[in-house]
Amino acid sequence: MKILKLAFRSILHFRMYSLVNIIGLALSLACVITIFRYLHGEMTVDRFNNKLDRMYVTTVEISTTPGEVRFSGIFNPGRNTSFVDLTEHPGVEKFSHFALFENDEIEVDERKYDAIILVADSNFLNVTGYPVISGVDKLSEPNTVMITKKYAHKLFGNENPVGKTFRHSYGKILTITGVIGQIPTKSTLAYDMIVSYKLTELNSLRPNTFVLLYPGVDYQTVNKQYESFFEIRNRQMRYQLFPFSKVYFDKSVLNVEFKQGNYNYVKILMAVGGLLLFIGIINYINIYTVVILRRGREFGVKKVFGAGGYNILTQLFVENLLMTAFALITALYKINLFARKFKALKFVCRKFAAYCVVSYKSVSARVFFYFPGFWFADVFKKFGAYLERDNSGKKCGISSQ
């Protein structure tokens, strides 16, 4: 308790230096935490699905355009006998066909709304792992639809949307049978509702296909077994599996359905975040070093009256701990305030926020506290030798009595 009082007294005595140090460190931490929260969101896309490591998207390659691979569902509209169906492999647990209609429209109570509609079969939710928070989790009938919680709130407010109906742009009346909850991470698929694939008006001739393999099945082995081209409509083509976990950053496959990020931006932001943290640390150390140099007489008196280097370092540690805690609290307040004003940037993972705090205390705090401490220990050592040479204390302006 005595150490805390001494630490507070020292911080208040050099309040201008302390205030500048806390504000500077808080700004640095606010920027760094904001950047790394965003990076965490980029690196955990689709991680809400515990089957992600077994989940794949089918791609197609046509011999007339060698090397050009694009995402495409497995379909055989002409019922060609030469067609090779990859989904019939014994290692496939489940598969689901789906298609995305981004610029669609619905009508609720004579009011029109823009909608992103995902057309899918009944296996879609079992494969992708999107959480259903109310209603049923299957699209068993052609005129049934599942709606996201966010979009349901936009249409109906706080009312229960299950059982409500709306008119689709093609004129069909669709009934909401389930609500999909908010996922904790970003997703490569953005949609407002899922409509049954049995609805013929929205049945796409070019769907995409998700494939879920059994645990332990190697997708590369499956691809090797289906690497040969087969002929359909005078074209040589083949289907392969592509890991869904790589879709967000991989640009090697032609893509029109999935949202994608840029890994180069991630690396740049990581470098910027590291640089800001480094600048914040250096700035903190420089300002605190000035304070320490102005406290030479204080430390000299403490040495004369029996204070050891350990006691002085402990006080410095507590002072730095308090100022860093104040800076961290200020930084988190700034982040929350900024997030309220700019909701587009408010993608905050609470678990990661806790991880930031724990990691900061266990790692960064050591850097802030101990790095100056080792330098100051050398200063104290030299200062102690100086006092021993002058036992009278006259050169320090004090009395040894």
Residue 80: pLDDT above 90?
Answer: no
Q: Sorting pLDDT into bands at 50, 70 and 90, what band is 400?
A: very low
CB atoms within 10 A of CB 228: 9
Q: What is the spatial distance between Cα 260 and Cα 46, in angstroms, rounded to a whole number?
A: 12
Q: Rounded to an integer, what distance in angstroms lies between the CA atom of residue 83 and that of residue 80?
A: 6
For residues 93-112, average pLDDT: 91
Predicted structure pTM score: 0.74
The C-alpha atoms of residue 373 and residue 213 are separated, in whole angstroms, by: 55
Residue 375 predicted with pLDDT over 80: no
Describe the crossing of helices 309-341 and 365-389 by its angle, rounded to 10 degrees.
150
Give residue 77's pLDDT band: very low, low, confident or very high (50, 70, 90): low
Give the model's pLDDT for residue 335: 82
Q: How many alpha carbons fall within 13 Å on the CB side of residue 97?
A: 16
DSSP helix, strand, coil percent of the chain (3-state; round to 5): 50, 20, 30
Tens digit of each residue's pLDDT (9 = 90 or more) over 216-253: 999 999 999 999 988 877 788 899 999 999 999 999 99
Name the nearest CA neighbour of 152 among 126, 132, 171: 132
When pLDDT is averaged across residues 151-155 and rounded to a whole number, the result is: 94
Do residues 240 and 58 touch, judged by C-beta distance below 8 A?
yes
Q: What is the spatial distance between Cα 189 and Cα 98, in angstroms, rounded to a whole number?
A: 11
pLDDT at 116: 93
State the DSSP H helix or E strand holding residue 272, giving kind and residue range, or none if neither. Answer: helix 263-293
Pairing, β 55-62 against β 208-213: antiparallel
The pLDDT value given to residue 9: 83
Q: What is the mean pLDDT of the chain?
A: 82
Please state the separation of Cα 229 from the chain's center in Å: 39
pLDDT tier, 205 (very low <50, low <70, confident <90, very high otherwise): low
Q: What is the tens place of the pLDDT at every residue in 335-368?
A: 877 766 554 444 444 444 444 444 444 444 444 4
Question: Could you tell me which of 72, 212, 211, 189 has the C-alpha nearest to residue 130?
Answer: 189
Question: Residue range 57-70: average pLDDT?
Answer: 88
Q: What is the pLDDT of residues 119-150, one digit of tens each?
A: 998 899 999 999 999 988 878 788 899 999 99
Burial class (CB in 10 A: 0-12, 13-18, 19+), 155: buried
Is the confidence at residue 153, as pLDDT, over 60?
yes
Confidence tier at 379 by pLDDT (50, 70, 90): very low
DSSP 303-367: HHTT--HHHHHHHHHHHHHHHHHHHHHHHHHHHHHHHHH-GGG----HHHHHHHHHHIIIIIHHH
pLDDT, average across residues 288-300: 85
Phi, psi (rounded to 5 degrees) for 241: -100, 140
pLDDT at 203: 58
Residue 316 has a pLDDT of 87
